[in-house]
Structure 1
C-alpha cells in the first residue's frame, strides 16, 4: 500500500495520461478529469499532486488553466493545499465538505490556491552577493528596478516595509504626529480606523463614489486642515469604483486651491490584482505624495514586503520611524518579491486570481440582486458591501448559521450602520453554494435585533 501523501511516478502518469486522453486544455476540462479520477479512486486519498509548474512543464497545459482548475477542486473539497505538504487529494469518505466556517468571509484572506508557488522566488531571493552583509538595504536594487517601471508617477524615493497594513500606518506616521487630524477615504480598510484611534489620531471621513473620492467632500475636509489625507485610488475596499482621470483633475484643483495642503498617502492594497492601475496624485504633487503598494494578496502573506514610493521627505521619515532607522526588510524577501513582480509564470497565476475574484464578486452581487438585496462593490474591491435593515441583527443571524462576515460600521468614521462586509477572495465558485450564501444573506438582511431585559 502506498503511504498517504507519497508522490509516485504512477500517480503522475495516471493524471497526465487521463488529461491527454480527454484532450483537456481548459480549466473546466482539467477540473472535470481530475475530479473523476478522484471520485473513481484512480487518485487515492492522500495522493500528492504534481506542482502546477511541474504539471505544465512538458505538456500543452497553461499555468493559468491549472491554477483555475485546482482552485475549483479545492472549493469542492476534493483537494487541499498547504505550504509544506503541497496539494493532496482529500479523503472525501471521512471528511465533510468544507463549510462556511472554513471560508474566510471576514478578513479577506486570499485564496491560497490562486497564489504562485514561492519556492522559485525564494531561491531567486538568496542568489545575491550581499546577503548577511552589515549594510542596510532599505530597498534592494533588484526590487527598485522591478517596481519603478510600474509606478504611476516618478517617485523621488522608494523603501520596502513589512506587509501592506504596516506600510500604510508607517506612511501615515511619517506624515502626521499623534493628535493631528487624519482624513480617510471611506469605506476604510478593516481595522485601520481602530489602529489610527489607538495611536491617538483624530480622524475624519471623506465620501467617495464611482469615480473615487468626491471633490466637494474633500474640499469640506480640507477646511479642517488635516495633516494627511489617505486615499485608495485602486479601490481595494471601495463600495463603488476607482479613481478616474477626470476626478483626479477635480481633486487636484481642490488641493491646489487649499490654504494648507496636506500630505497625500495613496493606499494600493490590491496591488497586482487590480484590473488596471488608477491615476495618482503623485503626478501632480510628487513631493507631497507617497503610494503604498501591497503584494501579499497577490503573492502570499509570507512575502511580507510592501513598497512605499514617492516623496523623498516622507520616505526618509518612514525609514527613521522603523526603529530609528535600524530596521530594514530582509534582502531575501525583497529580492523574492522582485522575482515575482517580473516572473511570467507568477503573472499568469495572478491573472487567473484576478479573473476568478471578479467572477466571485459579480456572482454574489447578481445572486443577491435576484433576491432583492442591494449590494455594492468597485471593480477592484476585495469586499462586497450589502445593505441590511439592522447590521447587528444581520451579523447575529448569519453567525447563527456559521457564516462570519464583517461589520460595515467599522469602516466608517461616523458609524455608517446598515451594511455588511463580505470578503471576496474565498467566496465559492459553485453556483449552488453561491445561491446558498445569497439565500442566507437575503434572510438576514431584513432581521431586526431586539434586546429584552426580564
Structure 2
C-alpha cells in the first residue's frame, strides 16, 4: 500500500469520529491527522477528485474542506501543484518554540524563586526504601503528604511524572481507538492531545449544564468524562458534582483533573473531590507544578482498586518509576507550607496583569480568573493562531485558543499566563500591544493619547 493509500485509510477511519457537515467532518479528520503527526508538514494531500472517490464524498465537499483548512492556515494551495499541509499548532509545540522575552503560553510556576529551599543532604535525597530507587508507587513520605493534601476518598497515591503523565495513564487504561470522551469546551489542551493520540474523540459539552451532560452521556455513550473543577484555560471555579453523579449513574468512568484545585483566589475554597460523588469510577489526577515548580515533574493520581492496579501496570510500562530525588525534594518543600504565600503573590500578579491589559489593550475582553494561572482573553476580529506567530516575533509566546477546543474552535481566544514577575508582565503586555498594531489593530498610547 502506498503513502497516499495509507493516508486515505486514515482519513476514512477518522471521518466517523467527527460530527457536523461532511466538509467539516473531513476538515476535522485531516486536522486530527496533522496534529498527531500522521500527516507531516509539507505533505501533499490527494487531489480533490481522488480523495472524493476514495472516501465516498463529493468533489465539492472535499473542495470546501480544503478551503476551510486553507482559511484556517493549516494548509496552502500551490498553483499547479496541489494542496499541502503546513505546520499545525500542537499543545506540545508550546514547549518547543525556542527562547522568547516572555513566555505567557505555559500555565505553570515559571521558576522556583518563591520557594525556601531547605539545606540539601544529597545522601538523604538519594535514599529510597528499595535502595535502587525504582519504587513504583512512589516515595512513601511524599505519598502520605499528598494523600492528606487532596486525595478524596481514595488514599492510595500513585506518584507520576507530572499530571500530564497521570492523564496519559488514565487514557491508556480507559480508552481504545474510536472511543469518545466528554470534555468541556474549552478544555485543557494537553488532555485533548492525549485523547487524540489514543485514537479517541473528545466530544465538547457544557459540563456546567446537567441537562447537557445527561443528554451527551445518553447520545454518545462515552468511555470516559474529563472534568476540571478549576478550569484550564478559563480560570473558572465550578461545582461539578452533578457531572460525577450523572457519570456514576451511567457507569461511565470519570477523570478529574485537580491540577489547579489548590490555586483559587479571593477567599474561595477549593472544590471538593468529585470522587466523593463517584467513588467507584473516578481517576483523580493532581500535580505540584502549579504550587511548587513545573521542573520537579511530580504529580500523582489515585483511583479505586482494581483500577489503580491497572494504572500502576501502565506506569511500570511507561517509565518504571518517578525520580526518587524529585519526590524527596518535593516532600521537603511541602514541609515549609509555601502554598499560601504563593497564592497571595499569584493573585497580585493576576491583578497587575489584567490592569496592564486593560490599559494597553482595551478592546480585548476576559472574565477575571477565579483560579488558575492564566487569563482566557478574547481578541475581537482576530485569528489567534496567526496572531501567536506575530506575538512571537515581538518576543512573547502565547497559546492560541484552538489548542483548547475539541474541534478547533475559539480561534479568537488566547490563554495568557500571569505567573511571571510583574516587570516582565509589563514588557509582555507592551509587546502584545505592538503585535496587535502590527496586525492592523490600533492600541492606545501608554499615556492615553
TM-score, structure 1 as length reference: 0.65
- Contact preservation (8 Å) 1:193, 1:413: yes
Aligned pairs, how many?
Answer: 335
Correspondence 1:384 to 2:375: yes
- Contact preservation (8 Å) 2:391, 2:432: no
Q: 2:228 aligns with which of 232, 236, 242?
A: 232
Q: CA deviation at 1:229?
A: 0.9
Correspondence 1:139 to 2:128: no
SS in 1 for 2:414: strand
Cα distance in 2 for residues equivalent to 1:439 and 1:279? 39
SS in 2 for 1:307: strand
Change in 2 beyond 3 A, CA 1:431/1:130: closer
Cα distance in 1 for residues equivalent to 2:392 and 2:401? 15
Cα distance in 1 for residues equivalent to 2:437 and 2:212? 35
SS in 2 for 1:265: strand
Cα distance in 1 for residues equivalent to 2:190 and 2:244? 28
Structure 1 counterpart of 2:252: 262
Question: RMSD of aligned C-alpha atoms?
Answer: 3.2
- Contact preservation (8 Å) 1:125, 1:339: no
Structure 1 counterpart of 2:292: 299
Change in 2 beyond 3 A, CA 1:105/1:122: farther
Q: Which runs of 5+ in 1 are unaligned?
A: 1-99, 449-454
Q: CA deviation at 1:145?
A: 1.6
Cα distance in 1 for residues equivalent to 2:438 and 2:199? 36
Cα distance in 2 for residues equivalent to 1:335 and 1:196? 31
- Contact preservation (8 Å) 2:183, 2:226: yes
Change in 2 beyond 3 A, CA 1:444/1:157: farther
Structure 2 counterpart of 1:309: 302
Structure 2 counterpart of 1:366: 355
Q: CA deviation at 1:447?
A: 4.7
133-142 vs 418-427, which deviates more?
A: 133-142
- Contact preservation (8 Å) 1:125, 1:334: no
Structure 1 counterpart of 2:447: none
Q: 1:420 aligns with which of 414, 423, 426?
A: 414
Per-residue Cα deviation, 1:60-104 (whole angstroms, up to 9, x for no partner) = xxxxxxxxxxxxxxxxxxxxxxxxxxxxxxxxxxxxxxxx93211
Q: CA deviation at 1:149?
A: 1.6
Structure 1 counterpart of 2:160: 161
Cα distance in 1 for residues equivalent to 2:202 and 2:100? 34
Structure 2 counterpart of 1:32: none
TM-score, structure 2 as length reference: 0.66
Per-residue Cα deviation, 1:183-224 (whole angstroms, up to 9, x for no partner) = 22232223432332122112212325xxxx332332232121
Per-residue Cα deviation, 1:343-386 (whole angstroms, up to 9, x for no partner) = 12xx23x3333223222223333343452321235322222111
- Contact preservation (8 Å) 1:238, 1:377: no
Per-residue Cα deviation, 1:240-297 (whole angstroms, up to 9, x for no partner) = 51123xx52x33443354xx32111111223654444212221121111121111123
Change in 2 beyond 3 A, CA 1:181/1:272: same
